[in-house]
Structure 1
Amino acid sequence: MNSLKFCADILADYGASESEILELLTYNHNVFAPPLLEQLHQPQSESYLATWEQYAKNAATVGAYAALQPHLVQLQFPIMAGISETEEYRAATRKGKSTTQMKTATGLTLFQPEQLQLYIYPTLAGGIPVLVAGNRPDFTSLVQALTRRNEPHPVPDSMGACIVAGYNNWHRVHQYQQQWLLENQDHQGDWAAEFQRLIKRPELYQDRFILLSRGAYSNVTATDLGLDEQTWLELSGKIRLEHECTHYVTRRWFGSMRNNILDEIIADYRGMINAIATYRADWFLHFVGLEAFPTYRQGGRLENYRGEPPLSDGAFKVLQRLVKNAAENLEKFEQEYRHAVRTKPEEMAILMALTTLRLEELASEQGVSLIETAVNDQKKLIFNAHEIETR
């Protein structure tokens, strides 16, 4: 539907003022683009995966940390305030210089490096490398090293995973250089020019991978959900993995991966389907800090997705109501749909359908029927794409 008047009317019914309506219409703007049809039936892993498959193969023998540290340059430096501005760090991370003689390259300290795991996970859009830290401090260190330039910036307790995107892998650059020099022995002086051409092709040197922790999902305890500790830890791992993989799929297929609550609703839906084969609104509300709605629990995940610039207090209050009702509508849809066969095309259709809707639509009184209509539309699209593919 995506009618702004329809969405504005919903926001007004929720008690939003004129200024808050404008804030929320902007915040809830759906930026997902329709996927290319060939992506739906022939998912292709990205070119960097071959290198990471070799890392994973080596990790099976020597351990993930030992396999990765020689190649991921940030793992060769400690977490230290100001290190990202040092000459040595900049030379290593921005120019690919060897760290062998660098005094500051003392290595990233992990409490349990032997517990670090690396594997390739098959998503709907192709494989992606997954790194699982052995404990919370090690996860924090890896996040700081690989996404915060080895600076000791705080990592929220509610953050249990992240996707490292656009990672400049100097190992791949050096591999490319070696191959190019081998094939151009008479023109080795032209490597500088070739490097400038390489920079314009990020698929040849930039990687994506997922970092996961092992703790309770969204910092929610087993007691909160009425589960035993071991069961909840196992389910947390499954939810967290599929959640991050969903972000990866939306980035590849729909061109977007944002810190926005719509992205989180979709990713948590996929995560719960992967873990418990259904969707529970009460679990999701715990995850985002709305389990005692209308009271919001400070420190809940929802505040991580308040937007930039942040929503005003009034708009954030309305957002909480939208999120609660959207989750409940999604649960109602799932209760009606759960008896359907969970084929890959069915899963794809639901994911695609959710990316076509705005949060206001998901939260509306018509939310369940809007989801159903969108799913049926996407099924037709997938079927037509398959028909074209098989002709």
Structure 2
Amino acid sequence: METTHRQTLRSNILAAHGADIAQVEELLAYSENVFAQGRLNLPLNFPLESELHVATWMQYAAIAHEIGTFEALKQRLVQLQFPIQAGISQTEAYRIVTRKGGLTDQMPEATGLVLQQPDPLELLIHQSLAGAIPVLIVKHRQDFVSLVQALAMRNEPKLVPDSMGACIVSGFNNWDRIRQYRKQWETANPIAASDNDWAAEFQRLAPQKALYQDRFIILSDGFYSAITASDMGLEEVEWRRLSLIIRLEHECTHYFTYRVLGSMHNHLLDELIADYRGIVAAAGRYQADWFLRFIGLESFPHYREGGRLQNYRGQPPLSDGAFKVLGALVQAAARNLERFDVNYRSELKHPHQEALVTIALTRLTLEELASEAGDRLLQTVCFELATGF
């Protein structure tokens, strides 16, 4: 529970950035730090051990090397055996396959997912601070949209914004892993292996989600946040290369906060932290101007319509006045983060230290990061956490 003193400080910071009383209340609720509710058990050793599903995806990667990524995954991930079609997730055939493990053989609905450029699709197992995680890299924009819709939106043609170039899929029920589990169980129990016996075993399996639920990342190799190379002052090839680095580290940071703190949200503080890690990975240091361009505040206080900031307006959405104050907060927080990085980048030479800064950022609120002492507050939290490593 946040102390009254801390809430008063946050209120004063909001007022200093132009918020009136009503906007202060809006923004206090909006920027409540959900990370602080997560349990942090130190010390931790980084990188963390990989989750169980990674071993299966390593098998997929080996098969993909032989027959191609799309063909390898299409044989194992049942969603890829259906097209993108409005209402398909509500059909009996789709439910039988995705909820009960039915086979698509002789199902007229299972016409398969169509990709424009399936051959360049790439699967890699990336080692992050939070452990290894499967990553799909998609070279064609429409193919990225189709894969996100198939694997994260139950094959429904839901909107994928142009500014969205990555998706982390969590809680994915992998029926291929369940079938592998059943084969191993039948081998170990050759006598008691009837359909009824398996039904009982399946009930025991269901609560053990780590045995059949996967987590993986889908990445587009397009320009990050739909920002052009000319806007970045870079050649297209170089900006595409850097965009992929930023995007991958950004998603791995969400994965990190999920595994370490049990929290991964579609929220501006999450985005600030994830973009910090992504920019550092790509540029070797944090550049606030990059982040502000990504979210549409490159000409602060003017906001560019279509920037990512509007994607994190909250539910219910912030009022226009509160949204303007939010932009001021984010701009100040980014500048403070850059000052912190300039002063301490040379000291961050070990994965534990990089992890420590990421965790420290989750301990503060947007208001605190945007305060005049934001960079020093972050330094203090890093110091306090360091004793736990």
**TM-score relative to the length of structure 2:** 0.95
Q: Which residue is equivalent to 1:385?
A: none
Aligned residue runs from structure 1 range 147-158, under 5 A? 147-158=152-163
- Give me the whole-angstrom Cα distance separating, in 1, the residues matched to 2:11 and 2:320: 18
Instruction: Report SS of the residue matched to 2:40.
Output: coil
- Give me the whole-angstrom Cα distance separating, in 2, the residues matched to 1:110 and 1:24: 42
- Give me the whole-angstrom Cα distance separating, in 2, the residues matched to 1:190 and 1:26: 51
Aligned residue identity for 1:305: Y
Aligned residue runs from structure 1 range 38-57, under 5 A? 39-41=44-46, 43-57=48-62
Q: Which moved more, 1:57-66 or 1:25-34?
A: 25-34
- 2:98 maps to 1:93: yes
Equivalent residue for 1:313, pick from 315, 320, 324: 320
Q: 1:48–1:203: 8 Å Cα contact kept in structure 2?
A: yes
Percent identity, aligned pairs only, is 55
- Give me the whole-angstrom Cα distance separating, in 2, the residues matched to 1:286 and 1:374: 28
Instruction: Report SS of the residue matched to 1:40.
Output: coil
Deviations 1:308-358 (A, max 9, x none): 222222211111110000001001111111232521122111111111111
Equivalent residue for 2:26, pick from 17, 23, 30: 23
Q: Which residue is equivalent to 2:180?
A: 175
Q: Which residue is equivalent to 1:389?
A: none
Q: Which residue is equivalent to 1:387?
A: none
Which segments of 5 or more consecutive residues in structure 2 lack a partner in the other structure? none
Q: 2:172–2:215: 8 Å Cα contact kept in structure 1?
A: yes
Q: CA deviation at 1:194?
A: 1.6
Q: CA deviation at 1:39?
A: 3.5
- Give me the whole-angstrom Cα distance separating, in 2, the residues matched to 1:6 and 1:39: 31
Q: Which residue is equivalent to 2:126?
A: 121
Equivalent residue for 1:223, pick from 227, 230, 235: 230
Q: CA deviation at 1:40?
A: 3.1
Aligned residue identity for 2:140: N
Q: CA deviation at 1:34?
A: 4.2
- Give me the whole-angstrom Cα distance separating, in 2, the residues matched to 1:147 and 1:194: 28
- 2:197 maps to 1:190: yes
Going from structure 1 to structure 2, the CA distance change for 1:279 and 1:322 (only over 3 Å counts) comes to same
C-alpha root-mean-square deviation of aligned residues, in Å?
A: 1.4
Q: CA deviation at 1:374?
A: 1.2
Deviations 1:23-52 (A, max 9, x none): 211111112224322533571100111100
Q: Which residue is equivalent to 1:328?
A: 335
Aligned residue identity for 1:7: R
Aligned residue identity for 1:368: D
- Give me the whole-angstrom Cα distance separating, in 1, the residues matched to 2:383 and 2:154: 45
Q: Which residue is equivalent to 2:310?
A: 303
Which segments of 5 or more consecutive residues in structure 1 lack a partner in the other structure? 383-391
Q: Which residue is equivalent to 1:250?
A: 257
Q: Which moved more, 1:250-259 or 1:196-205?
A: 196-205
Aligned residue identity for 2:225: S
Deviations 1:236-269 (A, max 9, x none): 0100000000000100001101011110010001
Q: 2:348–2:354: 8 Å Cα contact kept in structure 1?
A: no
